Amino acid sequence: MKKYKYILLLIALPLFILQACKKEIGNLNSPTTDEFLENASKAELNNLVTGIESGMRTNLPMYLDVMGMIGREMYRFSGAEPRYTTELLGFGDATLDNNTFYLNNPWQSRYRVVKNCNLLIEAANNSTLLNDAEKKGYYGFAKTFKAYQLLINLNMTYDSIRIDVADPDNLGPLVTNPQALQDISDLLDEGLSDFSGAEITFALTSGFSSAFAALPDLNDQAGMVKVNRALAARVYAYRAQWDNVLTALNESFFGLQLPLSYGISHVFTTGAGDQVNTAFFPPNQTGEVRLAHPSYVPDLQPNDDREGKTLQREEPASSNDLTSDRDVWVYTSQLAPIPIIKNEELILLYAEAKIQLGQFPDAVTALNRIRQEHGLTPYAGAITQNALVDEMLYNRRYSLFFEGHRWVDMRRYNRLSELPLDRPGDDVWVEFPVPLTELPGQ
């Protein structure tokens, strides 16, 4: 395995902390942090909620790019940035850089949201203008999405992350993966406890509204509980705590017969000061392109309609000895939502837990729900744990394509060596290095 490249710079304070202190919360008429902490009104706290939801989208497409590249889901070609096809793929002597855009930008963006979650908790706690139930609503929201943001960064650096960043002058230690997952799980449990008896007095975007008339929105107290438990189920799967996965799913919005897309999403608009979804590129574009990995279609089972998550190009695109003839077509406009978590993932988490617990008939039922939805015949393979894990990972690959899961899944199952190497000397990385600004003495 190649060593990471470390670039030495003299920085007085960790950059992410400097960035995190900037409130990414829309137009609040420039109030100071102290004003929030003194006696925040509901309007001020609600603006913080809006800012948290908005900030979660910042640099999210870049995160999807880098996770998709390392996980060999797709290629990102950029005339202005060759490192997508060199460092991220370990081309030649290239190594992952611990002080560059593809790591620092998403990493810092997630910690800016964490900072605002911490601010929301403290401001709600200090406010005399709220009753206890209203405060608990803010606490639960902040803890739930703080955990979600920390999990995204842990997905990148895997075995080293800083969980405790509440005090910029006294940061907590870097912790390893098991401890980080425990802390994130505990944070979700705290959020769940806060939601008990909570009153939700803040509005959320349409990403928390149901697109199905017969299914409830997920933006009230009951919905927040279900969202929290859905994210908890994902974390329990990462911890291989399979009974807990099933318990959390039973308390979430999971349903074997519910629509696969039911869940919550990041949403985008063209409104002034808002963001569009930059994970969208028009088909047949040149220069700046996102392409499906050449293995995407050949590895599909016959009649799998998830081929439609890619489009055949009029002409193949090539860069740095990489070529693909299919565009990524997951986000089909600049207003397309990006899922946070959806029922399709929950069904696959249910199948995964059932496989690991040896409850194979239930697992097959869940896998067939996914297969049927995508034009496939019922599963007819071996009823063994290994065969069913293969089938589960196949469906996670295609159902969650370009949503940031493939590299994580292959790493969880010690299968990174199964990912294709497209050029002699390429590498599949296990993890990103800890950003330079997080290293002792920086």
Q: Which of 243, 219, 209, 402 is nearest to 308 (CA)?
A: 402
Q: What is the mean pLDDT of residues 209-214?
A: 97
Whether residue 428 lies inside any domain: the answer is: no
Work out the average pLDDT over 405-428: 97
Residue 12 has pLDDT above 70, yes or no: no
Tokens linked to 22: 């900037």
Cβ distance 357 to 283 under 8 Å?
no
| Residue 27's CATH number | 1.25.40
Q: DSSP state, 290?
A: E
In a domain, 394, yes or no: no
Q: What is the pLDDT of residues 281-328, one digit of tens each?
A: 999 999 999 999 999 999 999 999 999 999 999 999 999 999 999 999
**Residue 220 counted as domain residue:** no
Beta partners for 310?
328
Identify the band that residue 441 occupies on the pLDDT scale cut at 50, 70 and 90: low
Buried b (16+ CB within 10 A) or exposed e, 404-418: bbbbbbbbeeeebee
Q: Is residue 224 part of a domain?
A: no
> What is the domain extent for residue 108?
15-203+268-277
Of how many residues is the chain composed?
A: 442
**Residue 441 within any structural domain of the chain:** no
Instruction: Say if 222 falls within a structural domain.
Output: no
Are 150 and 185 a contacting pair, CB within 8 Å? no
Region of poorest pLDDT, from 142-156, 163-177, 331-345: 163-177
Q: Is the pLDDT of residue 64 over 70?
A: yes
Which pLDDT score is estimated for 168? 85
Number of domains present in the structure of the chain? 1
Structure confidence at residue 32 as a pLDDT band (50, 70, 90): low
User: Look-up: residue for tokens 């790591």?
Assistant: 103
Query: What is the overall mean pLDDT for the chain?
Result: 92
* Predicted structure pTM score: 0.92
Averaged over 333-360, what is the pLDDT?
98
What per-residue confidence (pLDDT) applies to 442? 56
CA distance from start to end of the chain: 26
Instruction: Taking residues 60-76, report their average pLDDT.
Output: 98
**pLDDT per residue as tens digits for the range 151-183:** 999 999 999 999 999 998 889 999 999 999 999
Over residues 81-131, the pLDDT tens digits come to: 999 999 999 999 999 999 999 999 999 999 999 999 999 999 999 999 999
- Domain assignment of residue 353, yes or no: no
Q: Does residue 374 sit within a domain?
A: no
